[in-house]
Amino acid sequence: MTDPTIALRDIFGPKGWLSGADATPYQRDWLDRYGVAPLGVARPANTAEVAAVIAVCLEAGLQVVPQGGNTGLCGGAVAAEPNTVIVSLSRMSAIGEPDRENGSITVEAGVVLAALHEALEPHGLMFPMHLGAEGSARIGGLIGTNAGGSQAFRYGMMQDLVLGLEVVTPDGAVWDGMRAVQKDNAGYQLRKLFCGAEGTLGIVTRAVLRLHPTPRQQAGALLVMSDFAAAVSFGAFLRAEAGEFLSGLEFFSDLGLELALRHLPDLAYQLETRGDVYLLVELASGSTRVPLDDILNSALEWGMEEGLVVDGALAASGAQRAQFWRLREEQPEGQRLEGEQLKHDISVPPGAIARFIEAGATLCHGILPGVRINPFGHLGDGNIHYNLSPPEGRADFDGKAGAFAEALSALATRMGGSFAAEHGLGRAKIAMAEANRGLVERDLMARLKGAFDPLGVMNAGVLVRAAK
């Protein structure tokens, strides 16, 4: 047959086919832990060109790895073998006109999340997905990992925000599921099946997304809590008291705050009191008639009377609310700048957050005394980013990264939670999944993979082990 690199270069031209040094930026994952040099990088401009890549790779027996913004943390969007073509969706970045009456918009898979937010602003509409990597994360990757973010407890994960999909399947066919309806029970929910599949069942090329009206008013507060148990109790009270107006409920620790303030000099902490735990609360409403400040102030008073809240401040302006949010959003960057770190993406039932953090600390200090623990995340849905830094004065974890991962994943499983809350499995967590999930569950996933991709072309070795 024709040399596949020649065939792909003929299809895409110099802008659409990259190899050698030109492919280097696509080669390694965000944490620089995974990835080898691929045969090349295809950058299709439309769905037909994605299908053409699949056809060439099928004929040549090459592996295919879809790649969005390559901001994943589990190595799921880079090549594991040299005979691989990475398919970057970066050129497929068209954003359609929002449909206000239907509350939807059609976008291509390469759209950067921040660009979508910007495009929607003039229309008074929003796509309620916010996360630290939104300046580089692309819609296709967010679908592939079933991303969550800070508002997932109110609006749901990515699968709850996708109405329709267009997907190129592993045999090069195109599934047109671009229906802008919430209710569609005409068989298996294929659109949800591709959410979280990490590119193992096909390549998402376009999507119909659900939109919501932009809130006309917001209220926020930064609170110092007496401990993690107090944060959990106060969060439960807020969900009952503020209900449908609660749009943000984030927590972080004093270690995380200290690292952020140490390494990011433009950050400012505006309360008089420091504590072990902080809670960031945000309310939002589409009506200006709802007394959000009164609701939040009343909740704060109750929390102080109950001894749950030690100190706190309501944001006096949008600018101050943004400053509060930065304290939470810069948690990962502060820890990254501190040096070596281990990331663990955990979820437990929200009521078990404090118990997990306490039990996890006991486990971690038993593995490496003095290890610094920085838990932060989404109180509303139980997602804990349980990140570790070496003990003061040490530069590494003494080769115990695997022991930490095994202990924390087993703890999350025992508490009815997950060791892969919103980052997926990628290549990094397959062994973890096989140790903590039942044989029937893993077998069902492998059978799905085999049914969609019998030749094992799509992202082999991600989510499930590659067939031998």
Q: Are 301 and 223 in contact (CB under 8 A)?
A: no
Q: What single-letter amino acid sits at 39?
A: L
Q: Residue 19 contacts by C-beta under 8 Å, 6 or more apart in sequence?
A: 5, 39, 40, 41
User: How confident is the model at residue 47, as a pLDDT?
Assistant: 97
List, for residues 411-467, the tens digit of each pLDDT value.
Answer: 999 999 999 988 889 888 999 999 999 999 999 999 999 999 999 999 999 999 876
User: How confident is the model at residue 153, as a pLDDT?
Assistant: 86
Give the whole-angstrom CA distance, residue 231 versus residue 275: 12
What pTM was estimated for this model as a whole? Answer: 0.92
**Which has the closest alpha carbon to 278: 349, 330, 348, 333?**
330
User: How confident is the model at residue 428, as a pLDDT?
Assistant: 86
List, for residues 316-365, the tens digit of each pLDDT value.
Answer: 999 999 999 999 999 999 999 999 999 999 999 999 999 999 999 999 99
- Structural domains of the chain in order of their starting residue, each with its CATH number: 104-213 (3.30.465.10), 217-327 (3.30.70.2190), 339-426 (3.30.70.2740)
Neighbours of 420 (CB within 10 A): 25
**Which has the closest alpha carbon to 311: 349, 341, 340, 275?**
275
User: How confident is the model at residue 232, as a pLDDT?
Assistant: 97
Extract the tokens encoding 149: 């973010």
Q: Residue 396 contacts by C-beta under 8 Å, 6 or more apart in sequence?
A: 340, 390
Q: Which residues pair with 246 in a beta bridge?
A: 283
Q: At 43, phi and psi to the nearest 5?
A: -120, 80
User: How confident is the model at residue 1, as a pLDDT?
Assistant: 58
Q: What single-letter amino acid sits at 373?
A: I
User: How confident is the model at residue 312, as a pLDDT?
Assistant: 95
Q: Residue 260 contacts by C-beta under 8 Å, 6 or more apart in sequence?
A: 267, 327, 330, 331, 333, 334
User: Angle at Cα 234 formed by Cα 228 and Cα 238, nearest 5°?
Assistant: 140
Strand arrangement of the beta sheet that strand 63-67 belongs to: 17-18, 40-42, 84-88, 63-67
Q: What single-letter amino acid sits at 107?
A: V
Q: Are 227 and 251 in contact (CB under 8 A)?
A: no
Q: Are 72 and 423 in contact (CB under 8 A)?
A: yes
**What would you measure as the largest C-alpha separation in the chain, in angstroms?**
77
**3-state DSSP assignment of residue 453:** coil
State how beta strands 372-378 and 246-253 pair: antiparallel
3-state helix vs strand vs coil in the chain, percent to 5: 40, 20, 40
DSSP states of 374-406: EEEEETTTTEEEEEEEPPTT-SS-TT-HHHHHH
Pure H helices in 156-247: 158-161, 190-194, 228-241
Ranges of residues in the chain whose predicted pLDDT is under 70: 1-2, 467-468
User: How confident is the model at residue 199, as a pLDDT?
Assistant: 95
User: How confident is the model at residue 243, as a pLDDT?
Assistant: 86
User: How confident is the model at residue 468, as a pLDDT?
Assistant: 56
Q: Are 30 and 78 in contact (CB under 8 A)?
A: no
Q: Report the C-alpha dihedral over residues 419, 411, 344, 388, rounded to 10 degrees.
A: 180
**3-state DSSP assignment of residue 95:** strand
Q: Which residues pair with 225 in a beta bridge?
A: 277, 309
**Is 169 exposed, middle or buried, given 0-12, 13-18 or 19+ CB atoms closer than 10 A?**
middle
